[in-house]
Amino acid sequence: MSESQSSKQVEILGREVCFQGFFRMERFRLRHTLFAGGWSPVVERELFERGHAAALLPYDPVRDEVVLIEQFRIGALEAPGGAWLLEIVAGIIELGETPEEVVRRETVEEAGIEVAEVEPIYDYLVSPGGTSERITLLCGRVDASRAQGIHGLPHEGEDIRVLAVPFTTAWRWLEEGRIDNATPIVALQWLALNRKRLRLKWGVTPGV
């Protein structure tokens, strides 16, 4: 750890659970060191605890297609485009699971297809101003010709429509704002930068 990093400290003065349901909300009283020296005033911050997640962009390098899913999201209820979002496969990482195990399971449950090879993309904080959630993002090789229909687990209230579309179509949807949530935006931008390399790695000559 660098000297500047070692000088950054946080002192937790109090911590309480404000709400415990499917998710948890905690309130902290804390102070932290300042860049100019000394300590900040005591501040209160609420933290949304929902665990960590893994997400996967299913990509067929032969057909040059990505598999997207569409489902209802309560957080988008007031969004300009409505509450049904175009997303990629994702799931919460349970105790003892690896991110790859999660996305392999969720790809079967949400899209009805299986993942062959997996390529890591990023591991990032979703919204660190209010939640501790991190997402491990991957890309997975799939056969997009099998991606169709409606999937999800009924006992979890899932109603998921599957769409296999050319990468160029997905990219156009991103530019038009039809894809308007962070995880698929990050994944598609990564694929735009790495598509040629990934196709070569997975045995497909670009242009074929």
Cα separations in angstroms, 183 against 25, 65, 190: 23, 18, 11
Say which residues have a Cβ less than 8 Å from residue 155's Cβ, sequence separation at least 6.
none
CA distance 6 to 121: 29
- Cα 50 to the chain's mean position, in Å? 13
User: Alpha-carbon distance 118 to 91, whole Å?
Assistant: 16
Q: Is 119 a catalytic residue?
A: no
DSSP string, 96-163: T--HHHHHHHHHHHHHS-----EEEEEEEES-TTTB--EEEEEEEE--GGG--SEES-GGGT--EEEE
Tokens 């894809």 belong to: 179
DSSP E strands in 10-126: the ranges are 10-20, 24-32, 43-49, 53-60, 65-72, 84-87, 89-92, 118-125
- The one catalytic residue in 156, 158, 175, 176 is 156
β partners of residue 58: 140
Catalytically active residues, by annotation = 156
